Amino acid sequence: MSVQHRVRVREVRLLSDNWYTLKTTTFDWQRSDGRWQECKRETYDRGNGAVLLLYNRARRTVVLTRQFRYPAFVNGHDGLLVEAPAGLLDDATPEECIRAEAEQEVGFRVRAPHKVFDAFMSPGSVTERLHFFVAEYDPDDRIGSGGGLEAEGEDIEVLELTLDEALAQVADGRIRDGKTIMLLQHAALHLMPR
């Protein structure tokens, strides 16, 4: 259902265009009772992205990354985050993006990615829509060591865990990344159920 007729943008101001784009917007929102209400919101536009869970059904394993994330660090996470390989689309399609990110971050060639859904991860302030993929891997699909791109500040460790180990890490807080948790739950429900 479209809500375009319920939004009247009054003013958009650019606050920052340093790393990505931060804007503040004043708009009127037509409430469900028909009244108009003035609202102000900041939006952070970093582009859309894609994320991939590589899994091996026969071995019940998944391939993940471990890396430093400064925003998590300043919010009290004094450690590295365990995540599924992901990246921003830039000018690529979601499938092209995830194939490139898998090779760069974990060193695997992706044979047959399957899109399972897309989601807004933090819709209260971030515009990003994230495309979620899964793909089976075989050890022979490894074409490099991964590790990411140093020029982009990436210093990525590649992890291969059983699905049970990964789910245990979700339960005890060692895996705290939302996109990764969503894909691991998808794997437990649909790809490798008990």
d(CA 155, CA 147): 6
Structure confidence at residue 67 (pLDDT): 97
d(CA 142, CA 102): 10
Type and span of the H or E element at 98: helix 94-106
Strand partners for 172: none
pLDDT at 92 over 90: yes
In the numeric block, which tokens belong to residue 109? 């060639």
Confidence bin at 19 (pLDDT 50/70/90)? confident
Which residues have CB under 8 Å from 4's CB, separation 6+? none
Pick from 191, 110, 181, 107: nearest CA to 149? 107
pLDDT tens per residue, range 59-84:
999 999 999 999 999 999 999 999 99
Which residues have CB under 8 Å from 33's CB, separation 6+? none
Confidence bin at 184 (pLDDT 50/70/90)? very high
Residues 97-110: what's their mean pLDDT?
A: 98
Structure confidence at residue 194 (pLDDT): 87
pLDDT at 31 over 90: yes
* CA dihedral sign of residues 75, 89, 150, 155: positive
Percent of the chain's residues with pLDDT above 90: 98
Residues 145-162: what's their mean pLDDT?
A: 95
Structure confidence at residue 50 (pLDDT): 98
Structure confidence at residue 71 (pLDDT): 94
Mean pLDDT of the chain: 97
